[in-house]
Structure 1
Amino acid sequence: MTTVRAYAATEENGLLEPFEYELGSIGPYDVDIAVESCGICHSDLSMLENAWGMTQYPFVPGHEAIGTVAALGDLVTNLQIGDRVGLGWHAGYCMTCVQCLSGHHNMCGTAESTIVGRHGAFADIVRAQAVSTFKLPSHLDAPTAGPLFCGGITVFNPLVQFDLAPTSSVGVIGIGGLGHLALQFLRAWGCRVTAFTSSGSKQQEALELGAHDTLNSRDPAAIEAAAGSFDLLLSTVNVKLDWNAYLNTLKPRGRLHVLGVVPQPLDLNVTPMLFAQLSVSSSPVGSPATILKMLEFAARHEIKPKTEHFPMSKVNEALDHLRAGKARYRIVLDRE
């Protein structure tokens, strides 16, 4: 039996406190990862607050883990003890449904989340299936790579999913944990990139991260002036916006793709969408194959999350920093 030392909350929106639990015998396709660092995603905060109504307590967050392989199941062939690996939102898939067999594992109806119904990576050990555990390319910076496995793949997935042309004009709405990575990926992809941000302090940073232009998202006149400009809009925000104003910035056959979890229904005028053949869509994280493409692409183009670091023992301070909207742009917990 392996004793795991973690940080867990015992109640809704409670403080994370030291917590120990025992891992059973390792399964034939499982991997135990000795955690070196773990990013904090807004989804960790949503789960801590039980905002989605599916949190089980005690709750150990953490699904952007970097570490080394500490133990392997007998049938694992793609990894070795000591490999530095990453783990994201999914900890396993059924491997037998049509979605898995088609390569769309992220659409598996019984996929296991790293932090839903199991304990995550705010811990010294986290367990997952080998198929959802990825060897880190040597050129990637391991201490900052964790957020690629959730935030990074979330914004990279649509580029592959929609076979985005490198000549596309793309707007990124919201320059935060997701948006700052989207700017980097899109610029390296070859696109013309515009950052929509309500923060004056982020405009120069957006340009440094890869945007060619910035647009004040609080200025209706500026949004109106951008009519017919974009092939694709990636929305990374989790608040209600004037979605019809943003649809008006799309070219004919353009697409608004929603990546942030917006709690309110989208209020859309269908008539202009119909005549311009516009689309509205959404997607979660990507499949294992797409994650591998993302890692290769990030290594080749030296794309890395911009991170702030806290020791894991300061996890509650780190969560408060995220709650206050102060993160620039992803927070990573480091094991002491």
Structure 2
Amino acid sequence: MTTVAAYAAPAAKAPLERTTIERRAVREHDVLIDIKFAGICHSDIHQAQEGWGEAIFPMVPGHEIAGVVSEVGPGVTKYKVGDRVGVGCLVDSCRKCENCEAGREQFCLNGSVGTYNAIGKDGEPTYGGYSEKVVVDENFVVRIPEGLALDEAAPLLCAGITTYSPLKRWGAGPGKKVAVIGLGGLGHMGVKIAHALGAEVTVLSQSLRKKDDGLKLGADHYYATSDPKTFEELAGSFDLIVSTVSAPLDIGAYLGLLKTDGALVNVGAPEEPVALNLFSLIGGNKTLAGSMIGGIAETQEMLDFCAAHGIGSEIEVIAASEINEAYERVVKSDVRYRFVIDTATI
């Protein structure tokens, strides 16, 4: 066991505070990672505040981890000391069910293990990236290509794969019109990736406050959803809409923006249920779907894609002492576009 410094929420809705945690000794197939940067995801806030249900405390959040390998177990074949690596939302799964065998470990039929706020196969709680080090099985570690800076790569481990996966699955590319709802931590990555895939990209945001940013990030068009004319002008326009917001939406209104056979895919997860009139779905043979991160192989594919296209996250690097302030700012949408903790400050 190794004792490392970390920032943890001692209880639901409590401010995070500096503490120490125990990391397990490196096993046969484990990789010890010196964490360099950890992104702050809105999911961290939902879970630390028990917005998504009962949680495990003390909680060390963080599933956007970028660092350097400092030790490997004797059976490790994929990584060596000094490698630049990342860890996303998963640290284990059964590896035997049909979903795991298909590279969709996030949907493990026997229960995947989250990077934090979960119980590992050893019966111990998992602790995330707001810490100095982490020990992870090599099969749940990904390589960060040299073309990506570690701080800009960290948010890709959640925000990047969360948007890349549905964009790929629903065929975003040349000749397709894609809309991204919300220009935040997830949304700005959705815009960058959809643009790199060759789609015509539109941002749908509450206001035009971030329009200049959206266009610089790769959007072709930018509309304010607070203006009723937006829904009239864009009716029947899009092949695919990806919703990245964590607040309830008028789903019927957004379904009205889809072409026949279009899809509205939700990657944001509001704490409250949403209402739906099924006629808005039936008319036009439309699809209302959800998407949750991606498997390990697809996460590596996403990192390689981002490196090839020069895509990193737009970040604001902070000291660990600023985490609680950062949480408040995320809730207020006061970040452009992802906070990243410099873990040397923990």
Q: TM-score range by the shorter chain?
A: over 0.9
1:8 is aligned with what amino acid? A
2:307 aligned residue (284, 299, 305): 299
1:329 aligned residue (313, 337, 341): 337
Question: Quick check: 1:197 aligned with 2:205?
Answer: yes
Q: Which residue of 2 aligns with 1:74?
A: 74
1:46 is aligned with what amino acid? H
- TM-score, with normalisation over the residues of structure 2? 0.93
2:64 is aligned with what amino acid? E
- In the alignment, the residues of structure 2 paired with residue 24 and residue 248 of structure 1 have an alpha-carbon distance, to the nearest angstrom, of 51
Q: Which residue of 2 aligns with 1:96?
A: 96
Root-mean-square deviation over aligned CA pairs: 1.4
Q: Which residue of 2 aligns with 1:111?
A: 112
- In the alignment, the residues of structure 1 paired with residue 280 and residue 334 of structure 2 have an alpha-carbon distance, to the nearest angstrom, of 38
2:281 aligned residue (264, 273, 276): 273
- In the alignment, the residues of structure 2 paired with residue 142 and residue 125 of structure 1 have an alpha-carbon distance, to the nearest angstrom, of 15
SS in 1 for 2:210: helix
1:7 is aligned with what amino acid? Y
Q: Which string of whole-angstrom CA distances, capped at 9 and with x for unpartnered residues, describes residues 112-161 of structure 1?
A: 10012311111101122211211110001212110000011000001222
- Per-residue deviation, 1:57: 1.1
SS in 1 for 2:68: strand
Is the 2:207–2:226 contact (alpha carbons within 8 Å) kept by the matching residues of 1? no
Question: Quick check: 1:14 aligned with 2:22?
Answer: no
> Which deviates more from structure 2 when the two are superposed, residues 121-130 or residues 226-235?
121-130
Count of residue pairs brought into register by the alignment: 336
1:115 is aligned with what amino acid? Y
Is the 1:114–1:128 contact (alpha carbons within 8 Å) kept by the matching residues of 2? no
Is the 1:215–1:223 contact (alpha carbons within 8 Å) kept by the matching residues of 2? no
Q: Which residue of 2 aligns with 1:4?
A: 4
Q: Percent identity?
A: 36
1:116 is aligned with what amino acid? N
- Per-residue deviation, 1:269: 2.6
- In the alignment, the residues of structure 2 paired with residue 21 and residue 221 of structure 1 have an alpha-carbon distance, to the nearest angstrom, of 53
Q: Which string of whole-angstrom CA distances, capped at 9 and with x for unpartnered residues, describes residues 187-239 of structure 1?
A: 11010111101132201111111110111111122112211100000011111
Q: Which residue of 2 aligns with 1:320?
A: 328
Is the 1:5–1:20 contact (alpha carbons within 8 Å) kept by the matching residues of 2? yes
Is the 2:170–2:240 contact (alpha carbons within 8 Å) kept by the matching residues of 1? no
- Per-residue deviation, 1:272: 4.2
- In the alignment, the residues of structure 1 paired with residue 70 and residue 139 of structure 2 have an alpha-carbon distance, to the nearest angstrom, of 16
> Which deviates more from structure 2 when the two are superposed, residues 161-170 or residues 286-295?
161-170
- In the alignment, the residues of structure 2 paired with residue 52 and residue 29 of structure 1 have an alpha-carbon distance, to the nearest angstrom, of 32
Q: Which residue of 2 aligns with 1:255?
A: 263
2:279 is aligned with what amino acid? T
Q: Which string of whole-angstrom CA distances, capped at 9 and with x for unpartnered residues, describes residues 241-293 of structure 1?
A: 22111111111000010111023333223234324110000011011111111
- Per-residue deviation, 1:25: 2.5
> Which deviates more from structure 2 when the two are superposed, residues 269-278 or residues 34-43?
269-278
Q: Which residue of 1 aligns with 2:123?
A: none
- In the alignment, the residues of structure 1 paired with residue 320 and residue 141 of structure 2 have an alpha-carbon distance, to the nearest angstrom, of 22
- In the alignment, the residues of structure 1 paired with residue 302 and residue 206 of structure 2 have an alpha-carbon distance, to the nearest angstrom, of 28
Q: Which residue of 2 aligns with 1:185?
A: 193
- In the alignment, the residues of structure 2 paired with residue 161 and residue 97 of structure 1 have an alpha-carbon distance, to the nearest angstrom, of 22
1:225 aligned residue (209, 222, 233): 233
- Per-residue deviation, 1:318: 2.3
Q: How does 1:108-257 map to 2 (within 5 A)?
A: 108-109=108-109, 110-117=111-118, 118-257=126-265
Structure 2, unpaired ranges of 5+:
119-125
SS in 2 for 1:290: helix
Structure 1, unpaired ranges of 5+:
none
2:127 is aligned with what amino acid? H
